[in-house]
Amino acid sequence: MMCAIEAGKRGRSVMILDHAAKAGNKIRMSGGGRCNFTNYDVSAENYISHNPHFCKSALSRFTQWDFIAWVEKYHIPYHERSHGQLFCNDSAKDILDMLLAECQNSNVSINLKTDILDISHPEDNEFIINTRTKETTQTYHCHSLVIATGGLSIPTMGATAFGYQLAKQFGLHVWPTRAALVPFTLQPDDKQRLSTLSGIAIESIVSCHQYQFRENILFTHRGLSGPAILQISSYWNAGDTLSINLLPDIDLATELKNIKQQNSKSLLKTILAKYFPKRLISIFLSDIISNTCLQDIPNEQLEKIGQTFQRWQIKPNGTEGYRTAEVTLGGVDCDEISSKTMASKKVPDLYFIGEVLDVTGWLGGYNFQWAWSSGWCAGQYV
């Protein structure tokens, strides 16, 4: 829609073909129905790509401030949450309605419930798209073709590999894809041991390789979720171990030693209950040590207790996959695409925008901003 709006403003005849029954389904369901439409702080560092510089041009030419200006033009109330994330006050539908209104203003046609049967390019200046609806088949001819098919996440919303397949059809390289911003599943033993913690959320620092994120983690009946887990999942590979600090602001071992010096007669579990949910303490420590008076615990053991909570090592079994993933890592190789126009370097007038490209944003409105920015840029040239 973003690309179509901009192309329509230039007087181009624009048609969107979408196999979904409604336009903008991912917008409708995003952000718990409130749409985290962008972030106050956007830079290339918030994106993952085999070509980390590719996104810079688009993000600098249509910025978060430009999209915020659109939102304010339509008097859509919004608010900031943690880490600069911007959400609608009322409904994600406000953003969708804004985009649909802009499409109408730019004379953009939107054809829904339209399946693409095949696309060919027999001549240098024309693409031929064969389509099918419930009622009929239809062939379209166009000068410029934009692929904005998204990734593989949430297949129940209609996600398919169509965009990647088309890129390969036209000879473009596509990086392998996998689920990202996705919860982890656990090894059977860990799943059984941690199952009673389901529903507990705790602010933590989660690390993998040289990357770390500080936000809540959430214990679920399947494994681990929450913002910090989703963020680190984009950097995790099968077999990697996560390091989790469940108490980021203090050195727990030092704190326990200081309390011990005050001749406290409290049990260890009583002191730890100031920092952690009781259910978590009972899982991480044995009943014997939990019910021991702090005065009777050697300092060496207090060090180990500190590490238990602040250097918790766990190796996920895997992820929940595309079913619950928010985005897809990998995609059309950005080295094949012009960062200025979003056009293929191999096939004239063929464009790729949004998540189908090998550009994956962090949690927090970054993937929507990439959609707005890349779509706007392509719209200046198609």
Under the banding of pLDDT at 50, 70 and 90, the label for residue 156 is confident
Q: Residue ranges of the alpha helices (H) in the chain?
A: 2-9, 25-29, 55-61, 64-73, 93-105, 162-169, 188-194, 227-233, 252-261, 268-272, 278-284, 287-290, 299-310, 366-379
3.30.450.20, 2.40.30.10, 2.170.150.70, 3.10.20.30: CATH of 183-319: 2.40.30.10
Q: Which of 237, 238, 234, 204 is nearest to 219 (CA)?
A: 204
| Whether the predicted pLDDT of 123 surpasses 80 | no
Residue ranges of the chain that CATH labels 2.40.30.10:
183-319
Q: Give Rg (Cα) of the chain.
A: 25
The CATH-assigned architecture of domain 2-176+330-379 is 3-Layer(bba) Sandwich (3.50)
Tell me which amino acid residue 296 is. D
> How far, in Å, CA of 94 to CA of 88, rounded?
8
> How far, in Å, CA of 78 to CA of 67, rounded?
12
Looking at every residue in the chain, the average pLDDT score rounds to 96
Start-to-end CA span in the chain (Å): 13
pLDDT digits (tens, 9 = 90+) for 66-122: 999 999 999 999 999 999 999 999 999 999 999 999 999 999 999 999 999 999 998
**Beta-carbon count within 10 A of 196 CB:** 14
> How far, in Å, CA of 275 to CA of 294, rounded?
15
Residue ranges of the chain that CATH labels 3.50.50.60:
2-176+330-379
pTM: 0.94
> How far, in Å, CA of 219 to CA of 124, rounded?
54
pLDDT computed for residue 198 by the predictor:
97
